[in-house]
Amino acid sequence: MAGCSLVGGETAEMPGMYEGEDYDLAGFCVGVVEKAEIIDGSKVAAGDALLALPSSGPHSNGYSLIRKIIEVAGADIESIQLDGKPLTELLMAPTRIYVKPLLKLIKETGAVKAMAHITGGGLLDNIPRVLPEGAQAVVDVASWQRPAVFDWLQQQGNVAENEMHRVLNCGVGMVICVAQEHVEAALKVLREAGEQPWVIGQIATAAEGAAQVELKNLKAH
């Protein structure tokens, strides 16, 4: 999926931890990049656009909250259907890997100023990691249809709207910053790569003391 090979490793035997055919596979990678080509967010400026790529579900984050919601609600997740799919399938959908479409975007446009992978911490904690001081991301929550699995979790767990965006990705797996003049070209390349991108917001100058992410059009809960 990411075009990477796992070329070595070791097997740790831990009786009592894994039983039967259970196993755990983990890995990490170290990247190499020319200094002049590092995408670190330092060039992000007011007026830039924010593009988004959809997630496949909760990905690998927020499961402490998800498990607690299921437990407290006493939900039979195998019998619940959302959008014609079992809830178990929606909750366990594999995490999307964005490497190939992002590499295509970077190579073909050279327009990417910053990228934020929306993992644990949601939009509110991940976007600030790639913003320079004084920049604020203004995100329009009404710009996408939140997948039903997140609405179900919010309703069953009585989770505040702001908290949803601090713990879960709410349907957004990746946020990309480009200059306004490159928006259409970037969207075109991403669509050619099989993605369904959209404009999720823009960069503004942060007021003194303001949060680095402003969520517009939050629905009442």
Write the CB contacts of 32 (distance below 8 Å, at least 6 apart in sequence). Answer: none
d(CA 157, CA 148): 14
pLDDT at 2 > cutoff 80: no
Q: How far is CA 3 from CA 17, 18, 66, 83, 198, in A?
A: 31, 29, 31, 32, 25
- pLDDT tens-digit readout, 148-159: 999 999 999 999
d(CA 47, CA 27): 38
Contacts 24+ apart (CB under 8 A), 187-190: 187/51, 189/104, 189/105, 189/108, 189/109, 190/51, 190/53, 190/101, 190/104, 190/105
Domains of the chain: 48-216 (3.90.650.10)
pLDDT at 14 > cutoff 60: no
Average of per-residue pLDDT values in the chain? 92
Q: Out of 33-37, 67-71, 139-143, which region has the weakest mean confidence (pLDDT)?
A: 33-37
d(CA 96, CA 57): 9
Q: Which pLDDT band, with edges at 50, 70 and 90, does 70 fall under?
A: very high
CB 132 within 8 A of CB 44: yes
The pTM score is 0.89
- pLDDT tens-digit readout, 100-123: 999 999 999 999 999 999 999 999
Q: Which pLDDT band, with edges at 50, 70 and 90, does 31 fall under?
A: confident
**In terms of pLDDT, which residue wins out, 93 or 2?**
93
- pLDDT tens-digit readout, 165-177: 999 999 999 999 9
Q: Which pLDDT band, with edges at 50, 70 and 90, does 47 fall under?
A: very high
Write the CB contacts of 134 (distance below 8 Å, at least 6 apart in sequence). Answer: 205, 206
